[in-house]
Structure 1
Amino acid sequence: MNNQQVHVAVAILYQENKFLMQLRDNIPTIAAAGCWGLFGGHIEPGETPDVAVKREVLEEICYTLPPFFEFGCYADDAVVRHVFHAPLLVELNQLVLNEGWDMGLLTPEDIRQGNCYSANAGEVRPLGSMHQQIMLDFIEKSNNSNR
C-alpha cells in the first residue's frame, strides 16, 4: 500500500434506475472540480470505510443511509476509493445539499455520455472520469444481475 494514497469512501445512491450524484464545487484546488461525482469523502484516522461513508453522506446531504453494501475498491496512484451502494428512499427535495454546487438524479444515459446539465451551474458539466467508470461498472453489473 502506498502511504501517499488518500482513502475515501463514496456511495452510489439509486432510485428508479437513476443515480444521485453531486456536482462538485468549481474550486481548482479540489479533485474533479466542477464535475459530477459520488457523495462521500475522506476516511478519518481510525475510521472504517463503512463508518466513513455513513458519516460523509449524512454530512453532505443529511441522508441516513439505509442498509448498504460494498461494491468494490478503486485505486489509482493518489486515491483509494471504497465504494458502497444503497437505495435512495427519499425524494430529492428532502435532501439538504451541504457540500457541492448541485446534485441530481442522473440516468444511465447521462452517465454513459459522461455529462449532465446542472440547473445551478446553468450548463452541462462533465462527470469525473473515475466516478464515471465506477458508475458504468455498477450499471453493467446491475444489468447483468437482473437478467
Structure 2
Amino acid sequence: MNNESVHVAIAILYQQNKFLMQLRDNIPGILYPGYWALFGGHIEPGETPEVAVKREILEEIGYNLPSVVEFGCYTDERVVRHVFHAPLSVELNQLVLNEGWDMGLLTLENIYQGSCYSQNAGEVRPLGNMHQKIMLDFIRTNQQT
C-alpha cells in the first residue's frame, strides 16, 4: 500500500434481509461507474472513519445514522475501505437520494448473482466486485439471523 491510497468510509445498511445500495452515476473517471455499490465516501482530513461514514450517509441519502458497528477494512491498490454496518430503520421512500443514479434494497439473491435491476437506469446493472465481496463476507459472518 502506498501513500496515494484514498481512505473511504462506507456503510452496509440492512433491513429485513435486504441491503441498501447505491447505483453509482454512470460517469467516466469515477470508480465503478454505473455499478451498484455501498453508500459512503472520502474521509476528510482530521475525521475518524466513524464520523466520516455518518456524515456521508447524511449527505447522500439524508439518513441520520444512530450508531454504526465497525465490520472491517478492505484494501486494494487504490482504496482503503473502512466498512461499517447498521440497521436501516426508515422506509426507502423516507430517504432522499442526493448522490448517485438510483438506490434500492437489494436481496440476498441480487447480491449472490452480482446484479440488480434499476428502475432509473431501466436495466439490470452489476455490483462492483469489491462491494459484492464485502457484502458476501458480511452475509457469511451474520448467517445466524
Counterpart code for 1:21: M
What's the offset of the Cα at 1:5?
A: 0.3
What's the offset of the Cα at 1:99?
A: 0.1
Deviations 1:47-72 (A, max 9, x none): 11000000000000000002210000
Match of 1:84 in 2: 84
Match of 1:39 in 2: 39
Match of 2:109 in 1: 109
What's the offset of the Cα at 1:2?
A: 1.7
The CA RMSD over aligned residues, in Å, is 0.8
Counterpart code for 2:54: K
Aligned pairs (5 A) from 1:54-93: 54-93=54-93
Output the CA distance in 1 between the equivalents of 2:140 and 2:32.
Answer: 23
What's the offset of the Cα at 1:14?
A: 0.1
Task: Report the secondary structure of 1:67's partner residue.
Answer: coil
What's the TM-score once normalised by structure 2's chain length? 0.98
Displacement over 3 Å in runs of 4+? none
Task: Report the secondary structure of 2:142's partner residue.
Answer: helix
What's the TM-score once normalised by structure 1's chain length? 0.97
Counterpart code for 1:104: G
Counterpart code for 1:4: E
Contact 1:57 1:65 in 2 (8 A): yes
Match of 1:28 in 2: 28
Task: Report the secondary structure of 1:4's partner residue.
Answer: coil
Output the CA distance in 2 between the equivalents of 1:114 and 1:66.
Answer: 29
Contact 1:9 1:83 in 2 (8 A): yes
Deviations 1:15-54 (A, max 9, x none): 0000000000000110000000000000001111000000
Match of 1:48 in 2: 48
Structure 2 alignment gaps of length 5 or more = none
Size of the aligned set, in residue pairs, is: 145
Counterpart code for 2:45: P
Task: Report the secondary structure of 2:131's partner residue.
Answer: helix
Match of 2:118 in 1: 118
